[in-house]
Structure 1
Amino acid sequence: MLSRLPVVTRCLSLAALCAAGPVAALQLPLPPPGEDIVGQVQVIKAKYEDTFADLGVTYDLGYSEMVAANPGVDAWLPGTGAEIVLPTRFILPPGPREGIVINLAEYRLYYYPKGQDVVYTFPLGIGREGWGSPIAHTSIIAKTPNPTWTPPASIKAEHAADGDPLPNVVPAGPDNPLGPFKFTLGTPGYLIHGSNKKFGIGTRTSHGCFRMFNNNVLEMAKMVPVGTPVRIINDAYKFGISGGKVYLEAHAPLNDDGTPSVVDKHTAVINAMLKREDLANNLRVNWDEVRDVVAAEDGLPAQIGEPGEAPMVTSAPGDLLQ
């Protein structure tokens, strides 16, 4: 039987959360071998003119993750002096730390430059309902500055039905929905690109491609070579180790096509844990804390256990995660 661990408070003090301020990009040092968490949560006080969309541009955060980390706060008018949590602490995605990893459930991209002990991470817009983004292992096959856009017939038909006909070719420039740069993926029909819209990063807003803030895609353009591997996953629950403790990060689950999902969370959490073979056979879990983390779906890593002698994890107690 697993011993009870003390429940870890999810709302840390301001002193523990506050950081030095915004940075141009989320470039974070990789943790030591055997550890998985990067960055730190920040808390700021909103100004009158602040919105989640504007703060996302400043702090490299997407709209959905800002909303999830700040339940009950008005995303468009937080109010002067309102405390805003910036979810800039991440459990790295499972699997190899190489190339680009996109996690649909996070609306987030991770880039591991070859030969460097850092990771860059950026928010993404992904495919909306009916135009899901793929789960795939692929690569960057081309890089194109100032791209033109040739709308496919399906998108032209959709716009025409809405009374907004598109030209056969949209030239490069401020009205081009691909923004100032595009990466072509080996999966036919899919791109990573900028955008001509200020809003939509961190939401299901595209026709399946991956949208980035323009400053982010231009920064990636300088770093990411053709041939870089790209792994696209959909992990709503990520487990990781830091400082001898085990953490869980939970997001709202999506179907494989990037649409909202109604899942058996009990099974999904156990399956995510079993992906970590180093934990499945050696983990003492506070299931009450797991339940709280899964219920919150706030994207903030929280301690749920510690390594220790325990039977192989194949189930959670009763209906704990229902």
Structure 2
Amino acid sequence: MFCLSQKSLAATYSLSDPDSDLIGAGYWVSVQESETLLDVARRHDIGQEEILLANPEVDRWLPPPGARVFIPGQHILPAGERKGLILNLPEMRLYYFVSAEEVVTYPVSIGRMDWKTPLGKTRIVRKQKSPSWYPPESVKKEAAASGEVIPNVVPPGPDNPLGKYALRLALPGYLIHGTNKPYGVGMRVTHGCVRLLPEDIEELYQKVSINTQVQILNQPVKIGWLDGILYLEVHPPIEEHLEARGNMMRYALEIIYQELEKHPAILIGSNVRQAIEEQNGVPVPISRKTDEPPMPINNPLFD
């Protein structure tokens, strides 16, 4: 179950069921007059790559009014300590565990391949409202190579790429912040920082505190249980993740079989294969209970 705030469509999900690893639900909406697919994504707090993967047949810039769009609003929680913030890079999604019984999730942008967002565990060391941006020399050199000039300091305002709020991490030079280019959220476009929609960073800024733990993970394949059924969620791996990119089927099966050794279930091979081929980030059931007939993928995208 979830509730929507008045400022944004970021959802707060209950974690009251200890046996469930899935939150949210996917659903269909209609494109409104003059909307792009990215307008629909922002209205439902979905990142750009997320909505494109879930709707490959819909034109990004000129979807016909009334066209049906699938909102991939269901997520398997990442495999990590359910505490503080978890960022899953391939998913380009941030999870904030408000408590042991509540989680909020937001789409994010992460670093490009040549400006990687680092993996590991860190924490928030400073909160800044209306931050100034001090571009590092590497960023200024990159801009100069393309004929641009970046000042030494960009003050708060509409031209500041950090937006109105910033959370500084213990990793030197890395922040979780807003943006003055919201339609880039949900892509690999940053210089390593984590970028949120303006309405989402405002909400997160108010919720988190100094010393909140931050885990940065690389999980293109996630698995989790719901009502005794194992689900699989597959995202395109980040470019530098050579193991997953080289053989996604083998990579995914290793994760699945490790789970089945702990919790035996009857695997539905065709569902596993289809989820890995699609890599659209939508959770699909890949097991059935011993007393049930084979279970097809209960996902409108695969109809």
- How many residues are aligned here? 288
Aligned to 2:300: none
Aligned to 2:275: 293
Give % identity. Answer: 36
1:58 to 43, 47, 71: 43
Q: Would the aligned equivalents of 1:137 and 1:232 in 2 still touch at CA under 8 Å? A: yes
DSSP-derived class of the 1:219 partner: helix
| Residue 157 (structure 1) shift | 0.6
CA deviation map 1:227-256 (0-9, x unaligned):
111111111111111111111111111145
1:38 to 16, 23, 44: 23
**TM-score (normalizing by structure 2):** 0.89
Stretches of structure 2 that go unaligned for 5 or more consecutive residues are: 292-303
Q: Would the aligned equivalents of 1:234 and 1:256 in 2 still touch at CA under 8 Å? A: no
Is residue 91 from structure 1 mapped to residue 76 from structure 2 by the alignment? yes
Q: Would the aligned equivalents of 1:193 and 1:211 in 2 still touch at CA under 8 Å? A: yes
Cα distance change of structure 1 residues 279 and 26 upon mapping to structure 2, 3 Å threshold: farther
| Letter paired with 2:276 | V
Aligned to 1:232: 216
My pick for the range that moved more, 25-34 or 237-246, is 25-34
Aligned to 2:285: 303
Q: Would the aligned equivalents of 1:286 and 1:304 in 2 still touch at CA under 8 Å? A: yes
| Residue 273 (structure 1) shift | 2.4
**TM-score (normalizing by structure 1):** 0.84
Aligned to 1:28: 13
CA deviation map 1:170-197 (0-9, x unaligned):
0011110000011111122211000011
My pick for the range that moved more, 61-70 or 124-133, is 124-133
Give runs of ≥4 in structure 1 deviating > 2 Å: 19-24, 259-263, 270-276, 278-281, 306-309
| Letter paired with 1:283 | A
Aligned partners of 2:63 and 2:255: how far apart in 1? 34
| Letter paired with 1:282 | P
Is residue 270 from structure 1 mapped to residue 253 from structure 2 by the alignment? yes
Is residue 128 from structure 1 mapped to residue 128 from structure 2 by the alignment? no
Stretches of structure 1 that go unaligned for 5 or more consecutive residues are: 1-18, 310-322
Q: Would the aligned equivalents of 2:113 and 2:240 in 1 still touch at CA under 8 Å? A: no
| Letter paired with 1:210 | V
DSSP-derived class of the 1:38 partner: strand
Cα distance change of structure 1 residues 153 and 260 upon mapping to structure 2, 3 Å threshold: farther
My pick for the range that moved more, 266-275 or 88-97, is 266-275
DSSP-derived class of the 2:182 partner: coil
Aligned partners of 2:249 and 2:9: how far apart in 1? 38
DSSP-derived class of the 1:187 partner: coil
